[in-house]
Amino acid sequence: MGALDTSIRFLSGVGPKRADLLEKELGISTLSDLIRFYPFRYIDRSGIIRIADVSPDLASVQVLAQVVRVTLYGPSGAVYDTSAGPPRYNAVKRMSVTVSDGSGMMEMVFFKGIKWNSERLKPGSSFIFFGKPSAFNGKINMVHPEVDAPPQGGVSRVANFEGVYPGTEKLKNSGVTGRVMARMVAAALSSCMPELEETLPDYVMKDNGLCPLRYALQNVHFPSSQEALSRAVERLKFEELFFLQLSLLKQKYIHSRGEVGIRMPKVGDDFNACFKTLPYELTGAQKRVIKEIRSDMTGGHQMNRLLQGDVGSGKTMVAVLSALIAVGNGYQACIMAPTEVLAQQHFANISRYLAPTSVRCALLTGSTGAKERRTVHDGLEEGSIGIIVGTHALIEDNVHFRALGLAVIDEQHRFGVEQRAALWSKGPSDGGGGQIPPHVLVMTATPIPRTLAMTLYGDLDISVIDEMPPGRKPVQTLQIGQGKRLQLYEFMKKEIGKGRQVFVVYPLIFESEKSDLKNLETGYEEIVAAFPFPKYKVAIVHGRQSNEEKNFNMSAFVAGRAQILVSTTVIEVGVDVPNASVMVIQSAQRFGLSQLHQLRGRVGRGAQQSYCILVRDIKTGKDAQKRLDLLCSTEDGFVLAEEDMKMRGPGDLEGTQQSGLPVTLKIASLARDGILLSRVRDYASRILEADPALSDPLNEKLARELRAGKYSVRDFSTIS
């Protein structure tokens, strides 16, 4: 075992307790993890600003100032009397240091380390104070600034970059500050350097003008100059994206070579019958996507296609026509939805589209009765059912198809890998004891920026419906404060008076959060009081209800028996109620941008004018406000998705975790490094074209890195 695999607990100053915390909070357990834990931004330590220019809007700043006076405060907030000898420091709760640089004065505040600080911060001496300014009681201060002696010979004007590491509250509390982090990294680097091996072959570095790994790691942590830092970052970003693409493309390459698919050369009478009687003209995007799918299904390789299209873009029709191609070639198709309500809705819509054809369509969900279930199972096994719509019930072991040729999965993110694997095993026999996998079409309404899609779905083909059916009025989106509740109710009544329906959504980040449930219940009671029965009927849906209860309430709203649906975000996925014209989102500041967009997509499906009303609480932070403003400014899901990605910086650990991205990038940013990503992808695919197995000795380093398996994508991108 070399230095790289050594646990960080053996590093001086770390120890078992901090090591555990670093592992838990940041996933750092070995020295190798540590040297690959990069700063997320840099501070120019030569930049000193005047106190007069310090404002609470600035991020971190540093000032060079003289201590004017030091005041200690006791537990009651009263000034601690120091006239009677040296203070008992454990009775001091706060230390305030007033400093001046001639342009102005400000206060440095300490709650900890008071003894040490009052011993060195003597009135009359000068220091460099570094930290985040904030405003308190109308004055500007800094809490727990970093304090340094001013450099010998005055302040240098040569740029001097220092990395800032992402950290967490817990780490800070146990003393792992940015400073400590940097010291640990320095120690780790010096013990790892001798055995650190280059990961890129010489020719790759030369082709792309990249610096060596050792240089890059040294300079990403401790840049010797601005230029060295740029070269280091460029190399590390390249490396990260390159191996990610290489591993995805390699899978895809093997996949498209190896996987035999069912050949479906015909279009068939049923397709034509449905197509001729469509209630509307297909949009250009729908036509293009159907062509792409058809060409996959005729090709003899298994289709693995992701269909992206914003809510309301008409994906269902694409699914139906694809299913009819399968049927026209003597195969069956299944369409899976994530919830019972959605499956029912799909079934109702699809049955209508299929009316002019001779195809038998059936529904199979968890609540299908025993007798009906047997009929459906038989129909699938003997082949009399051509298209089956359903939920997870479709992939149960006792469901057998005569010849499943196409599986459509709606809203892919709700399905796990095992479930997709179960689908594969339901394909027709290959005559040799195995199965031929059905073609797979995954549909999602989550707009994924192109750069992200390229990474996540490097092994899938992608089709995009980027055009909405004509004749839709844009949804009017507006923000209001809690105080406007009565006006809001008036407005809802007016819309309901016109025969429309209203969604009211409450946030529920974790279904178990008690306070959220309480908010929802209080909100519901308030609405029931404002909209009295029997004139108004209000349904409620949330995650704590039984499936039966949920379905009952949901169906009441879908069928128009209730005018208002109060719910948590369970309605986010897919439900189509064209008659709903108002979406009210409570505590809108607590939702993510893409979630808000998905919710808004639930209205504006009919011809009438629709509204999305964002109700924000008093405590709406800056970022949240920016999200709400963005949402009001555009309805383009792709624009919103890009912006969303940009707003979550790479240093935002929590954001990355919550975003559910299946890859964690350490240094590259999918939002900002799109151009590099496409260049890297082209380069990687050229290498694979020449050497698909990476068996050329020149590519030995590449094969080794991929085998080490560090660059892989979690869960949901891969269908196989």
**What residue ranges bind Mg ion (CB under 5 A)?**
574
316, 346 Cβ separation under 8 angstroms: yes
| Residue 280 binding: pick among ligand ADP, Mg ion, none (C-beta 5-8 Å cut-off by kind) | ligand ADP
User: What angle is formed at CA 369 by the lines to CA 368 and CA 375, rounded to 5 degrees?
Assistant: 85
Between CA 49 and CA 133 the distance in angstroms is 12
- State which of residues 469, 651, 662, 674 lies at the interface with ligand ADP (CB under 6 A): 469
Asked if 309 is part of the footprint of ligand ADP (rule: CB under 6 A), the reply reads: yes
Nearer to ligand ADP, 340 or 576 (CB): 576
Shortest CB 96 distance to Mg ion, Å = 60
- State which of residues 6, 30, 219, 316 lies at the interface with ligand ADP (CB under 6 A): 316
Residue 418: count of CB within 10 angstroms of its CB: 9
Q: Specify the DSSP element, H or E, that contains 238.
A: helix 226-258
Q: Specify the DSSP element, H or E, that contains 112.
A: none
Shortest CB 282 distance to ligand ADP, Å = 5
Shortest CB 543 distance to Mg ion, Å = 21
Those residues whose C-beta lies under 8 Å from the C-beta of residue 533, and which sit 6 or more positions away, are none
Between CA 254 and CA 607 the distance in angstroms is 47
- Using the contact rule CB under 6 A, the part of the chain among 16-24, 263-271, 277-285, 607-615 near ligand ADP is 277-285
Nearer to ligand ADP, 410 or 643 (CB): 410
Between CA 581 and CA 501 the distance in angstroms is 6
Nearer to ligand ADP, 349 or 519 (CB): 349
Asked if 282 is part of the footprint of ligand ADP (rule: CB under 6 A), the reply reads: yes
Cβ-proximal residue to ligand ADP, closest one: 314
Q: What separation in angstroms does the CA of 182 have from each of 39, 40, 177, 221, 465?
A: 9, 13, 9, 8, 47
Cis peptide, bond prior to residue 534, ω within 30 of zero: yes
How far from the centroid of its chain's Cα atoms is residue 448's Cα?
Answer: 10
Identity of the amino acid at 40:
F
Shortest CB 317 distance to ligand ADP, Å = 5
List the structure tokens of 230.
């740029």
Between CA 473 and CA 652 the distance in angstroms is 36
Asked if 576 is part of the footprint of ligand ADP (rule: CB under 6 A), the reply reads: yes
Shortest CB 444 distance to Mg ion, Å = 10
Cβ-proximal residue to Mg ion, closest one: 574
| Residue 551 binding: pick among ligand ADP, Mg ion, none (C-beta 5-8 Å cut-off by kind) | none
Pairing of the two strands 126-131 and 146-148 = antiparallel
Nearer to ligand ADP, 118 or 594 (CB): 594
Nearer to ligand ADP, 292 or 576 (CB): 576
Asked if 368 is part of the footprint of ligand ADP (rule: CB under 6 A), the reply reads: no
Asked if 445 is part of the footprint of ligand ADP (rule: CB under 6 A), the reply reads: yes
Q: Specify the DSSP element, H or E, that contains 478.
A: strand 476-481
Asked if 311 is part of the footprint of ligand ADP (rule: CB under 6 A), the reply reads: yes
List the structure tokens of 404.
């499943």
Q: What separation in angstroms does the CA of 22 have from each of 26, 168, 218?
A: 5, 10, 21
| Residue 283 binding: pick among Mg ion, ligand ADP, none (C-beta 5-8 Å cut-off by kind) | ligand ADP
Asked if 581 is part of the footprint of ligand ADP (rule: CB under 6 A), the reply reads: no
Q: For ligand ADP, what does the binding mask look like between residues 233 and 272, x meaning CB under 6 A?
A: ----------------------------------------
Between CA 308 and CA 693 the distance in angstroms is 31
Shortest CB 311 distance to Mg ion, Å = 7
Shortest CB 638 distance to ligand ADP, Å = 14
Q: Which of residues 590-609 bind ligand ADP (CB under 6 A)?
A: 605
328 by DSSP, 3-state: which?
helix
Nearer to ligand ADP, 39 or 390 (CB): 390
Between CA 25 and CA 633 the distance in angstroms is 37
- State which of residues 32, 283, 302, 368 lies at the interface with ligand ADP (CB under 6 A): 283
Shortest CB 271 distance to ligand ADP, Å = 16
DSSP annotation of 529? H
| Residue 717 binding: pick among ligand ADP, Mg ion, none (C-beta 5-8 Å cut-off by kind) | none
How far from the centroid of its chain's Cα atoms is residue 99's Cα?
Answer: 44
- Using the contact rule CB under 6 A, the part of the chain among 279-287, 487-495, 592-600, 690-698 near ligand ADP is 279-287
- State which of residues 312, 543, 649, 662 lies at the interface with ligand ADP (CB under 6 A): 312
Asked if 436 is part of the footprint of ligand ADP (rule: CB under 6 A), the reply reads: no
Shortest CB 648 distance to Mg ion, Å = 27
Those residues whose C-beta lies under 8 Å from the C-beta of residue 210, and which sit 6 or more positions away, are 200, 204, 234, 235, 238, 239
| Residue 18 binding: pick among ligand ADP, Mg ion, none (C-beta 5-8 Å cut-off by kind) | none
- State which of residues 196, 317, 456, 492 lies at the interface with ligand ADP (CB under 6 A): 317
Between CA 365 and CA 382 the distance in angstroms is 19
Shortest CB 551 distance to Mg ion, Å = 18
Those residues whose C-beta lies under 8 Å from the C-beta of residue 543, and which sit 6 or more positions away, are 508, 511, 568, 570
**What is the phi-psi region of residue 428: left when phi exceeds 0, alpha when psi lies from -120 to 50, beta otherwise?**
beta
Asked if 313 is part of the footprint of ligand ADP (rule: CB under 6 A), the reply reads: yes
363, 373 Cβ separation under 8 angstroms: no
Shortest CB 283 distance to Mg ion, Å = 15
Residue 214: count of CB within 10 angstroms of its CB: 15
Nearer to Mg ion, 379 or 574 (CB): 574
Q: Which of 681, 632, 671, 636 lies closest to 650 in space, CA to CA?
A: 671
Nearer to ligand ADP, 559 or 675 (CB): 559
Asked if 463 is part of the footprint of ligand ADP (rule: CB under 6 A), the reply reads: no
Q: How many residues bind ligand ADP (CB under 6 A)?
A: 17
- State which of residues 10, 116, 203, 280 lies at the interface with ligand ADP (CB under 6 A): 280
Residues near ligand ADP, by CB under 6 A: 280, 282-283, 286, 309, 311-317, 445, 469, 576, 578, 605
